Chains A and B, each alone.
Chain A
Amino acid sequence: MGERTEQVITLSLPSSMRHVYLLRAVVTEILKEADFDEGTQERINLAAIEAGTNAIEEHGDREDPGKSTIFQLILNEDGLTINTIDEGEASTHKAPEIEQVITLSLPSSMRHVYLLDVVVTEVLKDSDFAEEIQEQINLAAIEAGTNAIKHGNKENPSKKAIMQFLLDEDKLTIIVEDEGEGFTRKEVADPLDPENLLKSSGRGLFLMEACMDSVTYEANGTIIKMVKYKT
């Protein structure tokens, strides 16, 4: 599981106060795993929110959702370190008025899969997607993340699984990238084939495709792009 290694989780958020809650949700979840008592957890959480608010407010002159604020959460046996990185002008290549990009970068360990659930749930909370659709998107994101962590990066914690969430007016796009060798979609066995029904794995891609409106495989399968439309 690589407990001895340092776990670096990176969360990149548009510099807007409405995204501070996402930082809070992620920190809360990470702290559940750490050995801090409840009072300490609350204080760390407060400090994280203060740091997040500060970074966003002081980013340039004011809030600017076209820019990103990057939070680096480093968890090791000594404790949790939260670094704030000002990305400055570097991230302005996305059209800010249409899309808000949230990026989560995780060490490739199955213990971090639940963070995807946390982030997707938070991203979708204020969206127009019906609850049932939100559950489908959540499942697809978890499957894509698991695929990147387990099959792509072979659970090597020094390799990153990177997920991008782009929410715009008519759709949500999720892009998941791993550092693995890739795969060919056609060569993956059909889990609905009677001879595969009782297998204990191999349903991830099928579920992603069933839950999303489109799933495309790029860069030899190391990048998976999934889209769900609002209507």
Chain B
Amino acid sequence: MQVNVRNKGSITILDIEGKIIGADALALKSIIDQQIQTLSSEAEHGENLNLIFNMERVQMMDSTGLGILVAAYTTIRRNEGRVVLLNLGGNIRSLIVMAKLMTIFDCYNTEAEAIGHFL
């Protein structure tokens, strides 16, 4: 699994690639936690804590990975930030639906729409 971090104004986009399973899911957690920490310390009240997880190149995710997305969501919200999911593949979407988490996550199919969420 690989993660590329890029910025669009005050929005941080994590392009995630590969399989979010096992130890790789835990590696993703460290990357997300680090981003949250950096962004939270940069601004008061979650001003810059706007994250997009781009899942376009995620081939597979297990419950460890899903748990990490949920933990990221709760931490970001607690820090008054926002997070959206972009480009969910069929199997990832089914996983989120099965876990009844579709109402929790804001999901978009294009980057422009995802960015629009924060404007």
Which residues of chain A are near B99, meaning CB under 8 Å? 191-192, 197, 203, 206-207
One of B19, B63, B91, B104 near A197 (C-beta < 8 A): B104
- B interface, CB within 8 angstroms of A: 19, 21-24, 26, 60, 62-64, 66-68, 70-71, 73-74, 91, 95, 98-101, 104
Distance of B2 from chain A, by nearest CB (Å): 13
Q: Is A113's CB under 8 angstroms from B22's CB?
A: yes
| Chain A 184-221 interface mask (CB, 8 Å, partner B; 1/0) | 00000001100001111111101100100000000000
> How many residues on A have C-beta within 8 angstroms of the other chain's C-beta atoms?
27
Bound state CA distance, A41 and B63, in angstroms?
A: 32
Q: Is A203's CB under 8 angstroms from B21's CB?
A: no
Q: Is B22's CB under 8 angstroms from A192's CB?
A: no
Q: Given contacts A111-B23, A113-B21, A114-B21, is CB(A192)–CB(B67) below 8 Å?
A: no
Which residues of chain B are near A192, meaning CB under 8 Å? 99-100
Task: Give the secondary structure class of B's interface.
Answer: helix
Which residues of chain B are near A177, meaning CB under 8 Å? none
User: Which of A7-15, A79-87, A136-144 contacts its partner?
Assistant: A136-144
Which residues of chain A are near B62, meaning CB under 8 Å? 113, 139, 142-143, 146, 207
How many A-B residue pairs lie within 8 Å, measured between CB atoms? 71
Q: Is B22's CB under 8 angstroms from A197's CB?
A: no
Q: Is A112 located at the chain interface by the 8 A CB criterion?
A: yes
Distance of A31 from chain B, by nearest CB (Å): 16
Chain A residues 97 to 153 lying within 8 A of chain B, measured CB to CB, are 109-114, 117, 132, 135, 138-139, 142-143, 146
Which residues of chain A are near B100, meaning CB under 8 Å? 192, 197
Q: Is B60's CB under 8 angstroms from A117's CB?
A: yes
Q: Is B98's CB under 8 angstroms from A114's CB?
A: no
Sampled A-B contacts (21; CB under 8 Å): A110-B22, A113-B64, A114-B21, A142-B22, A146-B22, A146-B62, A146-B63, A191-B99, A192-B100, A197-B100, A198-B70, A198-B73, A200-B70, A200-B71, A202-B67, A203-B63, A203-B66, A203-B99, A204-B63, A206-B99, A207-B63
Which residues of chain A are near B71, meaning CB under 8 Å? 200
Bound state CA distance, A117 and B99, in angstroms?
A: 21
Of B21, B73, B104, chain A has the most CB atoms within 10 Å of the CB of B21
Q: Is B63's CB under 8 angstroms from A135's CB?
A: no
Distance of A157 from chain B, by nearest CB (Å): 13
Q: Is B64's CB under 8 angstroms from A146's CB?
A: yes
Known: A135-B60, A200-B71. 10 other contacts (CB 8 A): A110-B64, A111-B22, A114-B21, A114-B24, A146-B63, A197-B101, A198-B104, A202-B67, A207-B63, A207-B95
